[in-house]
Amino acid sequence: MSEYIHTEEFMNWVKGVTILKITKDGAVDYVKSKMQTFVNDLKHKVKDDDEHFKRFLTKVTVDGRVKKRHLNKHGGAFKYKIDSTCPNCNDMFEILQDNLDDSYKYVRWNCHDSSTTICPANYGWVLSKIYISYNIDSSLGPKDVDPLSVFSLMTLCTLFAAVKVIVVCLITLRNKLMHSKDNHLSAKDLEEAFENSKIFLLHTDVAPTSTNAVKQLESLKQKKIIAVGVDADCHELVRNALVLKKQCLENDMKVAKNEGNPVDGFENMLRNTTTDIVKETQKVYEVERRKTEEIQDLKMELDRKKKDLEFEQNEKQKAKNLIAKALEKERELDIRNNETKANNTRLLQKIQYLEEERLRSMELTENLRQEFAMVKEQLDQVRAQNQDLGLFGTCVASATAGGMLGGMTTGVPGAMVGAAIGPVVGVASATIKQYRTQRQ
Ligand SMILES: [Zn+2]
């Protein structure tokens, strides 16, 4: 596998197989709708009796009641007959045969695996199995089978005559892809595959139910399959192509066995394909594992970043709180400073006032000192005068004092003593004045 995985031809092959799958999926609804209409038409023969129709289908697809009847005793041309006495079942069987394409020589009537119940929901698909070339089929619908089964139905049942030619081209493509030993497809063949698929999907009968398939086809055409080993989608595409090849080879081998043909070639291809699928599955797993690891790494990185961010936010909040606190302190300090300033101003005013007071006091003191000096001078003068008077002054003082004392001790009123000595003092004063005047 690894030796051809990168080649252009291999990737062409992968795209080719994917085209087959898209084309078959795009045909599913078209096939279902056609077969349902066919069932409805047949059922009218038994007046839409589901149980009767079920018995008919069982006779044809499970019980082996269809026999080959030669038209000529000696062999050669033949017709199929149903072993039933019911005219309605015979009528329905005739219609079935009428819808067999002429190229379908050996019809496989006993095509349904009885383990899958026949019911109204799968009448159409059980009927379809008659036109599919594999024996004993337990599939439940066109989705479960490989592209060839669906293409086969469209070429062997005349209901699909409108698309038969293009479907034959698709079958050729299918066999080329599935029986390729090296899983290679040329660019020219790939281009043709795209063209044929588009012609089929855009056919008037198919187009109403194939919009999605057409989109997928366009998308596949644009897809560049280059990132092998990196792109999980690409490995998935390769793996799916190989899985489809395996399914096709298994069916082809069944047919070959039934027809008594050798199956060695199929067995070898099947073995190789199985090995390739395992390898490719490992690659898909490996790419997915790497992706998961990358996602986990990214998640961890994201968690780290988240934590860092949380830490930063916490730090920022802390810083904010600190700044808020600092601002608060600053405001408090401002208030205190203002108070101190006011106090200082008051203190300064007080000092100024005290200084003024001191200056005023000094001035007052000086005035007082000068006044005192003046008073002292006057006093000195008085003293000097008194000294001049000397004794006289003493006598007067003694007499006065003595008079007063005598008055108090003898009981004679002082006033009387004063009055008695008053004229004497008066004379003395006049004498002092006279004396002073003479001295001056
Ligand atoms: Zn019947």
In the chain, where the domains are located = 8-223, 390-439
Q: What are phi and psi of 137, to 5 degrees?
A: -120, 130
Residue 437 in this model has a pLDDT that exceeds 80: no
Residue 388 in this model has a pLDDT that exceeds 90: no
Summary mean pLDDT of the chain: 86
Rounded distance from Cα 49 to ligand 1 centre (Å): 10
Rounded distance from Cα 118 to ligand 1 centre (Å): 16
Rounded distance from Cα 57 to ligand 1 centre (Å): 10
Rounded distance from Cα 98 to ligand 1 centre (Å): 18
pLDDT top residue among 139 and 301: 301
Rounded distance from Cα 93 to ligand 1 centre (Å): 10
Q: What is the CA radius of gyration of the chain?
A: 69
Residue 124 in this model has a pLDDT that exceeds 90: yes
pLDDT top residue among 378 and 108: 378
The total of other beta-carbon atoms located within 10 Å of residue 258's CB is 13
Rounded distance from Cα 91 to ligand 1 centre (Å): 9
Find residue 34's DSSP bridge partners.
none
Segments of 193-308 assigned E as strands:
none
pLDDT in tens, 78-110: 889 999 999 999 999 999 999 999 888 888 888
Rounded distance from Cα 134 to ligand 1 centre (Å): 26
pLDDT top residue among 431 and 283: 283
Question: 144 to each of 123, 322, 350, how far by Cα in Å?
Answer: 16, 72, 112
CB 228 within 8 A of CB 5: yes
Least confident range of 26-40, 121-135, 267-281, 397-411: 397-411
**From CA 182, how far away is CA 4, in angstroms rounded?**
8
Q: How confident is the model at residue 59 (pLDDT cuts 50, 70, 90)?
A: very high
The conformation of residue 84, written as its DSSP 8-state character, comes to: -
pLDDT in tens, 158-195: 999 999 999 999 999 999 999 999 999 999 999 999 99
Rounded distance from Cα 88 to ligand 1 centre (Å): 5
Residue 359 in tokens = 């200056």
Residue with tokens 């383990």: 115
**From CA 337, how far away is CA 354, in angstroms rounded?**
25
The H or E element that residue 247 is part of is: helix 232-258
What pLDDT was estimated at residue 230? 62
Least confident range of 32-36, 361-365, 407-411: 407-411
Least confident range of 59-73, 130-144, 230-244: 130-144
Residue 338 in tokens = 């203002």
Rounded distance from Cα 239 to ligand 1 centre (Å): 47
pLDDT in tens, 307-364: 999 999 999 999 999 999 999 999 999 999 999 999 989 999 999 999 999 999 899 9
